[in-house]
């Protein structure tokens, strides 16, 4: 791949990732509700979902995605259901310091899985790669080295977009120490996550 191709790919990906969507909304809401650590792992899950779709496009599996509609519908509803679960946990979260600490100690694997399901449940992610990658690089010309480079670039660009959102939202949560403020914040974050879940489910229906 040429330097021009790399710049074009990274620029388009950065702009697309920065536009608010279900993934970004879920990230901000989760950071407001749970702090930095769980949300960072959720971000890693989101990025893995992008890499899965990138790989699928390179391997020519986008045709299969159109053929096997049901598995993709199941993924969408799983992602929506998990967001509803997280929203419920935030809505009913305890407000004592030890309860808040326990909420933040949520298993990284579950946060990671929630991010992965959100991305896999968003078909627009695959459509982005279907539209972008073939216009920049002939799919038949992509070798292992090109794939590794594309994967690395995708990870770096997406992390560069997500990390500031996570840090800012987590910092905003840290400034609110009073139980009353945390209750409002938790329930606001829960409402945003529930709304995101409803959006994903409605798009799947």
Q: Going residue by residue through the chain, which has 205 residues, state the pLDDT in tens, using 9 for 90 and above.
A: 788 888 888 988 888 887 767 788 788 878 877 778 888 999 999 999 999 989 988 887 555 555 555 665 676 677 677 667 767 776 776 544 444 444 444 577 888 988 888 888 776 787 778 777 777 777 667 788 888 999 999 999 999 999 988 888 777 766 555 666 666 666 776 776 677 677 666 765 5
| Whether 200 contacts 121, CB under 8 Å | yes
Maximum CA extent, the chain: 58
19: left (phi over 0), alpha (psi -120 to 50) or beta: beta
Closest CA relative to residue 21, chosen from 153, 158, 205: 158
């Amino acid at each position: 791949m040429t330097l021009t191709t790399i710049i074009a790919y990274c620029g388009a990906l950065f702009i697309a990732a920065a536009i608010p969507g279900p993934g970004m909304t879920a990230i901000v809401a989760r950071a407001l509700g749970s702090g930095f650590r769980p949300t960072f792992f959720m971000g890693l899950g989101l990025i893995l979902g992008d890499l899965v779709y990138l790989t699928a496009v390179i391997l020519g599996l986008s045709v299969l995605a159109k053929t096997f509609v049901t598995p993709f519908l199941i993924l969408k509803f799983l992602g929506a259901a998990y967001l509803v679960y997280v929203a419920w946990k935030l809505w009913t979260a305890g407000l004592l310091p030890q309860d808040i600490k326990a909420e933040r100690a949520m298993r990284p694997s579950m946060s990671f899985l929630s991010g992965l399901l959100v991305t896999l449940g968003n078909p627009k992610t695959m459509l982005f790669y279907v539209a972008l990658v073939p216009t920049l690089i002939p799919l038949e010309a992509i070798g292992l080295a090109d794939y590794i480079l594309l994967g690395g670039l995708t990870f770096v660009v997406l992390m560069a977009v997500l990390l500031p959102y996570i840090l800012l939202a987590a910092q905003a949560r840290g400034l609110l120490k009073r139980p009353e403020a945390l209750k409002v914040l938790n329930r606001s974050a829960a409402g945003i996550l529930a709304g995101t879940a409803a959006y994903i489910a409605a798009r799947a229906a």
